[in-house]
Amino acid sequence: EVQLVESGGGLVQPGGSLRLSCAASGFTFNSYWMHWVRQTPEKGLVWVSRIDTGGSSLVYADSVKGRFTISRDNARNTLYLQMDSLGAEDTAIYYCARNPRGAYFDLWGRGTLVTVSS
Amino acid sequence: QSALTQPASVSGSPGQSITVSCTGTSSDVGGYNYVSWYQQHPGKAPKLMISEVSNRPSGVSDRFSGSKSGNTASLTISGLQAEDEADYYCSSYTTSSTLIFGGGTKLTVL
């Protein structure tokens, strides 16, 4: 089955760190650019970061630049998001999404909830 | 960068047509044919409905169509059905090589 499954979310204190994972299956993972997108009730969907097929080209939203690091392990078919210096504004559902070409997402995971609170 | 501008809500009766607008700038919507639209039902992941302004993925009903004029993109749903009730988001590529979403539009089928 073609799918993306996120994990690693949870409750973390302000200033803390968390690493999210996104396991891909059913397709050739190393052929796709991958993204992280987060969602809150207040802001809706917000794009976070993108990584190219080889992991050498990385792009971040200004709101997470310098705090978040996107990476991938093509041997393990897994995408990661290392999140440091977390604040309340980072509380959200985090989705990983597949980007076949251009700038759209044809496959999304079910999301993992990150809550930043003391 | 601020989100693309979408109406907070739209509504229509079964069988009618509705249009959701998505307004950006020449640095995003107006500058590229990389506008996409997503449907999201409560508690579910977003689903791609339209890519690259007007391309409909396999499996998406032909009642859904997309277009763009200048800095504004539009999603039109014809022959409204109860199952179309959901949140709809537009997205665009930007000159900063990032992506930006709209604030989302809640569609109510009366």
Strand partners, A96: A36
* Residues of A with Cβ-Cβ distance to B98 under 8 angstroms: 47, 50, 59-61
Contact indicator for B104, B46 with CB cutoff of 8 Å: no
* pLDDT, tens digit, 9 for 90 and up, residues B22-61: 999 999 999 999 999 999 999 999 999 999 999 999 999 9
* Residues of B with Cβ-Cβ distance to A46 under 8 angstroms: 3, 101
CB contact under 8 A, B99 and A62: no
Category of A90 on φ-ψ map: left (φ > 0), alpha (ψ -120 to 50) or beta: alpha
Contact indicator for A45, B89 with CB cutoff of 8 Å: yes
Number of helices and strands in chain A (H, E) = 0, 11
Q: Is the pLDDT of residue B1 over 90?
A: no
Q: Which of B34, B48, B89 sits opposite A44 (nearest CB)?
A: B89
* pLDDT, tens digit, 9 for 90 and up, residues B55-88: 999 999 999 999 999 999 999 999 999 999 999 9
From CA A34, how far away is CA B1, in angstroms rounded? 21
